[in-house]
Amino acid sequence: MDVTVLGSGSAFPGPLRGASALALRLQQGEIWLFDCGEGTQTQLMKSSLRAGKITKIFISHLHGDHVYGLPGLLCTLSLNCNAPPGQQGQCVEIFGPVGLRLYLRVALRVCSSELLFPFTVHELEPTGDQSPPTGLLDPTLTACCPQLHPQERPGRTLRPDPESDCYSLLEDERIVVKAFRLFHRVPSFGFSVQERERPGRLRVELLKQLGLKPGPVFGRLKMGESVTLEDGRVLGPVEVLEPAVRGRKVCVLGDCSGLVGDGGRRACKGADLLVHEATLEDGMQEKAAERGHSTPSMAVAVAQDCSAHTLLLTHFSQRYKPAGGPGEGRDDVLELKRQAELALRGTDTCVVLAEDFLTLPVPLQKHREPQNPA
């Protein structure tokens, strides 16, 4: 499992920083994309990732620098779709705020973009407190939504669960994905991808010492059952299994000046990796908040609240040139890192600065337990 930054810049795709996009590669090689600013498909081509492995796309909010690359990406995925002739490629699932379906449908249909695979758009319905009133979509706009694209399968409309204050996006035997609410100029969301805990490996050598031979009993023990041996002894999973492998958790937050409600704090608790924006430096906190954005210290506060292991800062104003690059100067992005490190002093959380094409592994951490908030 690793994440690759495809665009670390805010506002527009610049020559030094692409517009927002981040790829999460799962163990099976499958890729989940978070945001898709203009130029993301070209960034993918420049990276070592295979765009054809993208199966799910999560859009945090409907600002152009996070979504204007989506129609073109789907077209190019289709050009490279290697489904056998006469067959369809795999369905691509897309999650994002209400309005995304209209945007995508019109962009693809007006441009006669035929796709060789089906897709579906699941829309998250924001609550009224995720933006100023000016950020709410005009209901007459979404009311005029045209017919489905020929390859579009009807999607769900998702609302937050009152109990957890989270949106339940996906849940299977491997993974649970939730969305939670953020505050921005338009409604914004964060996503948490939580691997399920995996049972520890069977202590085969111990079992052999106890005189057991590989067979159905091994299978039952592996599944966590207790087993009564011929001599009456009872063997339980605690004795014969190595410690369970804690599932990893990766959380990717869209643009925000803060969380809304309690969903984000819960969903991100103990995150191995928390991706948070830091558009402007601490000295510009007022300006940042006014625009619905964060500074390094604001990002650190969220990371500490969730006891995140690693904080990946991204979405930098294009004024901050990449470190070591041709445009490096006084406004260097490293200052943002120093501010985050200062705010994190005395904690276990470490901070990493996003750069385009940076790949960050998310290693398995068998014994790590969620920390208590500082």
Return the active site residues: 65
d(CA 135, CA 184): 8
99 binds a second copy (CB under 8 A): yes
The only residue of 6, 102, 121, 240 in contact with a second copy, by rule CB under 8 A: 102
Four-CA torsion 36, 62, 13, 294, nearest 10 degrees: -110
Cβ at position 62, least distance to a second copy in Å: 5
103: nearest Cα among 88, 81, 123, 128: 123
When asked if residue 287 is in the footprint of a second copy (CB under 8 A), the reply is no
Please name the amino acid found at residue 237: P
Residue selected from 33, 57, 62, 169 as contacting a second copy according to rule CB under 8 A = 62
Question: Is residue 48 at the binding interface for a second copy, with CB under 8 A as the rule?
Answer: no
Contact stretch for a second copy (CB under 8 A) within 135-143, 242-250, 291-299, 358-366: 135-143
26's CB contacts (< 8 A; 6+ apart) are: 1, 32, 175
Candidate segments 5-13, 196-204, 222-230, 297-305, binder of a second copy by CB under 8 A: 5-13
User: Cβ closer to a second copy: 39 or 296?
Assistant: 39
Q: Is the dihedral of CA 143, 148, 154, 156 positive or negative?
A: negative
| Nearest distance from C-beta of residue 79 to a second copy, angstroms | 6
Binding mask 146-165 for a second copy (x = CB under 8 A): xx------------------
Question: Are 66 and 10 in contact, with CB atoms under 8 Å apart?
Answer: no
User: Is residue 13 a contact residue for a second copy (CB under 8 A)?
Assistant: yes
> Minimum distance from CB of 113 to a second copy (Å)?
6
| Calpha distance 249→260 (Å, rounded) | 20
CA atoms within 13 A on the CB side of 98: 18
Which tokens is 188 given? 């914004």
Q: Does 138 bind a second copy (CB under 8 A)?
A: yes
In eight-state DSSP terms, residue 29 is S
Q: In the block, which residue shows the tokens 């200052």?
A: 335
Complete DSSP assignment for 113-175: ---SS-EEEEEEPPPTTSS-GGGSPPHHHHHT--PPPTTEEP--EE--BTTTTBEEEEE-SSE
CB of 76 to a second copy, least distance (A): 5
Cβ-based nearer residue to a second copy, 91 or 141:
141
Residue 316 as a binder of a second copy (CB under 8 A): the answer is no
Return the residue of 8, 20, 41, 349 that touches a second copy, per CB under 8 A.
41
User: According to the binding rule CB under 8 A, does residue 124 interact with a second copy?
Assistant: no
- Residue the block writes with tokens 């077209």: 75
Binders of a second copy among residues 160 to 189 (CB under 8 A) are 185-186
Nearer to a second copy, 107 or 275 (CB): 107
Residues that bind a second copy (CB under 8 A): 11-15, 19, 38-39, 41-42, 45-46, 62-65, 67-69, 71-72, 75-76, 79, 99-100, 102-103, 106-107, 109-113, 134-135, 137-138, 140-141, 144-147, 185-186
